[in-house]
Structures are given as C-alpha cells and as structure tokens.
Amino acid sequence: MVHGDQGKMVQEVAAELLNGGLPDRYVLSEEKRPNTTVAQPSCKLAATIPIVDVSRLAESPEEAAKLGSALQSWGPFVATGHGMSKEFMDEILDATREFFHSPLEQKQKCSNFQNEGYGVDRIDSDEQVLDWCDRLWLQLQPEDERRLQFWPQPLSECLICIGKQLLHEHTLESGRVTMEVLKAMAKLVGQKEDFFIEMVGERFKSYTRFTYYPPCPRSDLVNGLKPHTDNSVVLLLLMDKDVTGLQVLKDGSWIDVPVLGHDLLVGGDEGMEIVSNAVFKAPWHRVVTNAEKDRMSLAVFYQPEPERIIGPPGKLVHEERPPFFKRCLVQTLADGYWDAFAVGNRTVDFLNVRINDEAAVAKN
C-alpha cells in the first residue's frame, strides 16, 4: 500500500517553510546528523579523489592501473576524457533544472507514486526519516521496456526540456562510457575485455535518476540523500556544476566531492562488488543540502539481465580468495534495493547475500 506521505514533494515542503520550522519527518536524530563542518568544499581533500582519463584506458596500462587503484581504495573516480560534449552536458543539466522548476501539475504528469517516475523515494513507515530531495527515476534500457508515460514531454516548442531525444542521446553516451570502463575493469582482473559485458548480457537494464535537492535552511539537521551504496554494476554521475553536496566515505571520514564541471563521477556499485568477488568496492556516499542553493544530479545505473543469477565468477574464486558473496538472482537484488534503501542498509546485507566468513574477510 502506498504511504500517505508518498505524494508530498520536498520542493513543496521547502516552499512552505518560510516562517515555520522543519517538519519532523525530515529531522535526523542527533547522532545521525551530518556534521556541517565537513560539508564545505575543500580543495585539499577534493584533490585526492583519483582522476582517470577514460579515453586512454584502452591503450595505457598506467591509466588502467590508476582505475584499478581507484576502484579498490576509493570506489569512485573522476572521469575525464569521456567524450561527451560540453554542450550536450549543459543541455541536459539545463533541461533537468527546467523540469524541476516547472509547475507541480506538470511534473506530476510523470508520476504514479511508485518507484518509476517523478516523486520521492519510497516511504514504508511513519518512523522513516525522509531525505530532502525529489527525484525522477526512469528506465532507459532495454529500449522496448521504456515506460514513456513517465518521461517528461517538451513543455513547449521554445523551452528546453528533457525531451525524448535528449534522454535517448544521454542513454547512448552513458552506455559508451560504461562499456569502456567495463572493458578496463575486466582486464584489471585478468580477464578478456568483454568478461563483464557478457556477464551483464545484451538485455541489461539501465536506469537514470535525476535528483533535485531544494535549499534547506537547516542543512545541519537533514540528509539530502541518506548514506547508501547503490546496487548496480556501474554508476555514472553528472553533478550540478555550481553546488557541492556529495560526500564519499573514505577510511571512516566523509570526504567532499568538489564540483566537477563537465567531468563525471564514475564507480562500481554493489553489483560490481559481487561480480568482481569484492576486488572492486561500492562506495558509501551521501548528499548534504545547501541552505541557500538548490542542487541537481543525474545518475545512470547499469544492471545485468534480471533473470540472470550473479555471484563471484569461478575465474575470480580460488583457494586464496574464497567467494565473498552467495549467488543471487539479479531481479531479487533489484527488488531488494528499494527495501534496503528505505532503511539505510546495503542490498547485499539486507538480503544476506554477503558471506561473513572471517577467513575471506581477512584475505581481502
């Protein structure tokens, strides 16, 4: 059953705040509040996030080694040389802003208060503390499974909007970058370049999530997006060019990701952690809000074909490296994501897919 608050958009809540305090539903208990002192952009810390030139991955062992070290230590990396044009990236960011700034009735045409479409993340209980964001979640691939009723239509001839053409181009461009990264990841674990590409299958699924964080006058009390890992194989993130907010957990500290301009943030997710037998790590990340400015991001996620069973492949399991995960149906992982996310858990832990074998953990 859909929870009564499911239709309450954060953007509307923020607009009504003028004189009032924050509704309790968004206020974190004291120990879970973001420490705003680490939420400021910090060039020194930001500089440490690894940078990988995707255009050099295929021919440069040094670049591939940088990718390997990023995925094993940090999880995400800043992707330069990805080949997406600046004009195209600006256009899609402008379109995203325009969509979220359009009237509520317009946006609600893309909603049925379920996972797909415009709305807020799933609310399961009265106790759940809600994130300070609205989002538009759409399946991009396979193309014949697109539910176009949730896709924004151009508002008018003269306004830029997330029209079908723009999103389709976004799908193709993101797919191209993802395949390059998957090939390099396969070679890093000593396999032929299409090892992971074959594992995801021809009818893999890709999704996009446009997230909008309205300004929040008490950013010290709320999560823009709660700490989480995502459950896909690869994640591509195009972030707001002006406003920071994303933080990645590294060695127990939340590190600010700076604005990246036209670079992307790319990483392996829980799906990659499973199929690489934990060689590559899914990063814990969260988003903090800004008191004055709104912020947007645009993520693309890739998941293997839903009827596949994935687990650590035989080639990556040996005496020295026992399996870190049980085998699991991709559809089960995909469904479990929403249950796990609502309670702030990782899908692999929520579904008990991780093997908590001390011997395995010690060797990792």
Ligand X SMILES: O=C(O)CCC(=O)C(=O)O
What is the binding site for ligand X (CB under 6 A)?
209, 211, 225, 230, 237, 239, 246, 285, 287, 297, 299
Residue 354 interacts with, from Fe ion, ligand X, none (CB under 5-8 Å by kind): none
DSSP letter for each residue of 265-303: EEEE-HHHHHHTTTSS-PPPEEE---SS--EEEEEEEEE
Please identify, using beta-carbon distances, which residue of 57 and 340 lies nearer to ligand X: 340
- Give the CB-nearest residue to Fe ion: 230
320 Ramachandran zone, left/alpha/beta (phi>0; psi -120 to 50):
alpha
Task: Report, in Å, the least distance between residue 259 CB and Fe ion.
Answer: 17
Partner from ligand X, Fe ion, none contacting 287, C-beta within 5 to 8 A by type: ligand X
Query: Hey, what's the torsion of the CAs at 23, 29, 32, 34, to 10 degrees?
Result: 50
Four-CA torsion 52, 206, 209, 121, nearest 10 degrees: -130
Q: Which is nearer to ligand X, 195 or 280 (CB)?
A: 280
CB of 353 to Fe ion, least distance (A): 19
Residue 78: count of CB within 10 angstroms of its CB = 20
How would you label 59-72 residue by residue, b for 16+ Cβ within 10 Å and e otherwise? eeeebbebbbebbe
Cβ atoms of 351 and 343 within 8 Å: the answer is no
How far apart CA 38 and CA 17 sit, in angstroms, is 25
Task: Pick what 281 binds: ligand X, Fe ion, none; C-beta below 5 to 8 Å, kind-dependent.
Answer: none
Q: What does 93 interact with, of Fe ion, ligand X, none (CB < 5 to 8 A by kind)?
A: none
Residue nearest to ligand X (CB): 297
Q: Choose the contact partner of 96 out of Fe ion, ligand X, none; CB within 5 to 8 A by kind.
A: none
78 vs 287: CA distance, rounded Å: 17
**269 belongs to the binding site for Fe ion (CB under 5 A):** no
Quote the least distance from Cβ 211 to ligand X, whole Å: 5
Q: Within 10 A of 86 (CB to CB), how many other CB atoms are there?
A: 9
Residue 244 beta carbon to ligand X: minimum distance, rounded to whole angstroms: 9
Q: Can you tell me which of 121, 134, 180, 230 binds Fe ion, judged by CB under 5 A?
A: 230
Applying CB under 5 A, which residues contact Fe ion?
230
